[in-house]
Every structure is written in structure tokens, then in C-alpha cells.
């Protein structure tokens, strides 16, 4: 996708047609990185409502189709980068406009939201390598600080917090790739293919993404999506 196309997608997500409920672009990228990495297939009909947050009020069917095309292309760009073992170029926003510090929390919160759609328990006993890989994401999301505050426990000193943040920022891109490869290996070693939990969508049936178009003319036109 070109810079202009990504900017257009970002502008639409922030537009009044989503009533302020759609994910911002940085959170969306984190969310989709987890969806793509998931050990089970998460269809657009499942993850798309999480992204949009509401039923959008499009000005026209042409606008709806243009938006959906950009969103699915953005998904496919994430989906094609991780299998190539390339570190994902993270889309981040400044914590404060004009300042150099980037807001990793929003991106990581999006990732956690994406992995929560999986039917697999990611952090179950025995998944120690995965726990190490998810640590930077959980830390930068603020999950550990929030847990300490909720339980009334003392959090780590500010100096230590800053040092761990810096380490996690450095590890994050490789951790995202590592999580994808962790689940890819698990899928390859699985004794049998996963059982389909949802009925197969016929090519002439309405697309489950809600566009109103036939599946073959919408998400079914690109194999990466399904």
C-alpha cells in the first residue's frame, strides 16, 4: 500500500461515519498482527466488528467498497509480511504530538485484543517460549502496572520501569515475528487439521464481512483472507 492509501484508511477510521468507535491505525495494525498469527483461523466476520466498533454510516456503496478494499489490503499486507520472516514495520503514534516518544501502549493493546479472539489459550502451562515472546507486548501495554495497581501491590521503581520499557521496545518487532513462527510450528506439528467451526461460505452467497456483495466478488476474491 502507498503512503497515501494508508493515510486515507487512517482518515476514514477517524471519520464521523464510525462515531469515534473504530480502531486507530496503530492499534489496528497490532490487532491484525495477532489475528494473522493466531493458531486458529479468525475470519473477517469475527474480527471486523471489533475493528469497526459499530455499524458505519457510509455516504454511498462506492465509499463502503473503497473503505473495505483498503481495510482488506491492509490486512493482507500484514498477513504477507509475517510469513516472510520480515520484522513488521510498526505503525506508531507520538505519545504527545510533536514529541519523539512513541505510544507503544496502543499498538500492544490492539495485539492483545487480537489474540483474545483465538480459541486457543496462549499462556497455558507448557507454552513457556510463547510467554517469553509475549512479555514485551504485555509490558508495553501497561498490563503489569495495571495488575499491580488493581491488587494494591507496589509496582517497580520508575528507573527500572524505564529500563524494561526500553528493552521491550527493542525486542518488540522480533517478538511479533517469533509469535507467528511459534504458532506456525505448532500448526505444522498438529496430528490432524483443525475442525471447521463455521460453515463454509459459498462463492455466490453474501460475504460474511457484511459488505452486501457476493463472497466471490468481495473477500473471496483474495485467497489470503480466507
Whether residue 219 lies inside any domain: the answer is no
Residue at 226 is within a domain = no
Rounded distance, CA 162 to CA 164, Å? 6
The answer to whether residue 203 is domain-embedded is no
Could you tell me if residue 31 is inside a domain? Answer: yes
- The least confident of 35-39, 42-46, 81-85, 211-215 is 211-215
Q: Is residue 211 part of a domain?
A: no
Q: What is the residue range of 156's domain?
A: 3-189
Mean pLDDT in residue range 73-95: 87
In angstroms, the Cα distances linking 181 to 20, 56, 76, 174, 211 are: 34, 35, 17, 11, 32
Residue 55: predicted pLDDT: 86
Asked whether the beta carbons of 14 and 22 are under 8 A apart, the reply is yes
Helices (H), the chain: 3-13, 25-37, 44-52, 61-81, 104-115, 128-140, 143-151, 158-189
Q: Distance (Å, rounded) from C-alpha 130 to C-alpha 118?
A: 15
Other beta carbons within 10 Å of 178: 17
**Tell me, what's the pLDDT at 99?**
73
Q: What is the pLDDT of residues 123-136, one digit of tens each?
A: 888 889 999 999 99
- Could you tell me if residue 132 is inside a domain? yes
Q: Which residues pair with 102 in a beta bridge?
A: 94
Read off the CATH number of the domain in which 131 is found: 1.20.120.740
Confidence class of residue 73 from pLDDT cuts 50, 70 and 90?
very high
- Spatial separation of the C-alpha atoms in residues 169 and 175, rounded to whole Å: 10
Q: How far is CA 81 from the centre of its chain?
A: 13
Q: Are 80 and 13 in contact (CB under 8 A)?
A: no
Total tally of structural domains belonging to the chain: 1
| Separation CA 104–CA 107 (nearest Å) | 5
144: in domain: yes
Confidence of residue 57 (pLDDT cuts 50, 70, 90): confident
In this predicted structure, what is the pLDDT of residue 125? 86
The Cα–Cα gap between 141 and 136 comes to: 8
Percent of residues, the chain, with pLDDT higher than 70: 82
CA separation for the pair 116, 118 (Å, rounded): 5
How far apart, in whole angstroms, are the C-alpha atoms of residue 9 and residue 12? Answer: 5
Q: How confident is the model over 9-39, as pLDDT tens digits?
A: 999 999 998 888 999 999 999 999 999 999 9
Is 222 a domain residue? no
Rg of the Cα trace of the chain? Answer: 19
- Say how many Å lie between the first and final Cα of the chain, rounded: 20
pLDDT tier for residue 217 given thresholds of 50, 70 and 90 = low
pLDDT of residue 22: 93
How does DSSP classify residue 16? G
Amino acid at each position: 500500500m502507498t503512503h497515501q492509501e494508508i493515510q486515507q484508511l487512517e482518515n476514514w477510521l477517524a471519520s464521523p461515519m464510525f462515531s469515534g468507535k473504530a480502531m486507530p491505525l496503530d492499534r489496528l495494525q497490532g490487532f491484525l498482527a495477532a489475528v494473522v498469527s493466531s493458531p486458529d483461523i479468525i475470519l473477517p466476520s469475527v474480527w471486523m466488528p471489533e475493528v469497526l466498533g459499530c455499524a458505519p454510516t457510509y455516504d454511498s456503496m462506492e465509499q463502503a467498497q473503497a473503505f473495505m478494499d483498503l481495510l482488506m489490503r491492509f490486512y493482507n499486507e500484514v498477513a504477507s509480511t509475517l510469513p516472510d520472516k520480515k520484522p513488521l514495520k510498526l505503525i506508531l503514534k507520538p505519545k504527545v504530538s510533536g514529541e519523539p516518544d512513541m505510544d507503544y501502549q496502543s499498538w500492544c493493546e490492539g495485539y492483545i485484543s487480537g489474540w483474545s479472539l483465538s480459541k486457543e489459550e496462549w499462556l497455558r502451562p507448557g507454552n513457556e517460549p510463547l510467554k517469553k515472546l509475549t512479555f514485551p507486548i504485555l509490558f508495553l501495554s501497561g498490563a503489569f502496572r495495571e495488575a499491580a495497581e488493581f491488587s494494591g501491590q507496589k509496582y517497580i521503581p520508575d528507573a527500572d520501569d524505564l529500563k524494561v520499557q526500553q528493552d521491550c521496545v527493542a525486542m518488540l518487532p522480533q517478538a511479533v515475528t517469533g509469535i507467528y513462527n511459534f504458532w506456525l510450528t505448532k500448526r505444522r506439528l498438529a496430528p490432524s487439521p483443525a475442525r471447521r467451526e463455521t460453515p463454509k461460505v459459498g462463492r455466490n452467497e453474501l460475504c460474511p464481512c457484511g459488505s452486501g456483495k457476493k463472497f466471490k466478488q468481495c473477500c473471496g476474491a483474495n485467497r489470503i483472507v480466507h
